[in-house]
């Protein structure tokens, strides 16, 4: 900003001493020092908060990219699942499909009497 050297400080002190007098000058200097400290502290807090917001913005961009990648992957998976589901759904109504018949509709044949019984 601007630099104040030792000679400028001495000049300000002499002017303050002449204007305020020796009784009020220490109190005014203390008050000005406190105000300067508060202003510097406020400036540093503002600077930190701005830097934090900038850093948060820099972190949000990669997170947004990752979120978009996940959405894209989810859409691809859903599209793949939809293409798998389509062949599985019947294209004709269920009423026109004939009912399935059991594999063997004939009555089981009872075994013929054994010839060994007849021989004994």
| 43-58 as b/e: b if 16+ CB within 10 A | eeeeeeeeeeeeeeee
- pLDDT band of residue 36 (cuts 50, 70, 90) is very high
Mean pLDDT in residue range 30-44: 94
User: 21: phi > 0 → left, psi -120 to 50 → alpha, else beta; which?
Assistant: left
- Whether 41 is covered by a domain: the verdict is yes
Q: Can you tell me the distance from the alpha carbon of 37 to that of 50, in angstroms, rounded to the nearest whole number?
A: 20
% of the chain at pLDDT higher than 90: 24
Q: Can you tell me the distance from the alpha carbon of 46 to that of 51, in angstroms, rounded to the nearest whole number?
A: 9
Give the domain extent around 42: 6-89
- Whether 115 is covered by a domain: the verdict is no
Q: What is the pLDDT of residues 59-83, one digit of tens each?
A: 788 888 888 999 999 999 988 888 8
Domain count, the chain: 1
- Whether 44 is covered by a domain: the verdict is yes
- Whether 62 is covered by a domain: the verdict is yes
Whether the pLDDT of residue 41 is over 90: the answer is yes
Q: Residue 111, class by beta-carbon neighbours within 10 Å (0-12 exposed, 13-18 middle, 19+ buried)?
A: exposed
- Whether 83 is covered by a domain: the verdict is yes
- Whether 116 is covered by a domain: the verdict is no
- Whether 72 is covered by a domain: the verdict is yes
- Whether 118 is covered by a domain: the verdict is no
Whether the pLDDT of residue 43 is over 80: the answer is yes
Q: Which of 19-33, 42-56, 81-95 has the lowest mean pLDDT?
A: 81-95
| DSSP-based helix, strand, coil % in the chain, nearest 5 | 70, 0, 30
| Residue 111: per-residue pLDDT | 59
Average pLDDT, the chain: 79
């Amino acid at each position: 900003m601007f630099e104040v050297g030792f000679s400028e400080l001495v000049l300000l002190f002499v002017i303050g001493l002449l204007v305020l007098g020796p009784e009020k000058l220490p109190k005014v200097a203390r008050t000005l020092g406190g105000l300067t400290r508060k202003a510097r502290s406020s400036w540093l807090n503002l600077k930190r908060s701005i830097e934090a917001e900038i850093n948060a913005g820099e972190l949000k961009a990669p997170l947004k990219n990752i979120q978009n990648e996940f959405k894209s992957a989810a859409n691809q998976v859903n599209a793949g699942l939809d293409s798998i589901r389509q062949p599985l759904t019947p294209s004709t109504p269920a009423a026109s499909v004939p009912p399935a018949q059991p594999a063997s509709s004939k009555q089981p044949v009872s075994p013929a009497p054994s010839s060994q019984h007849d021989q004994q």
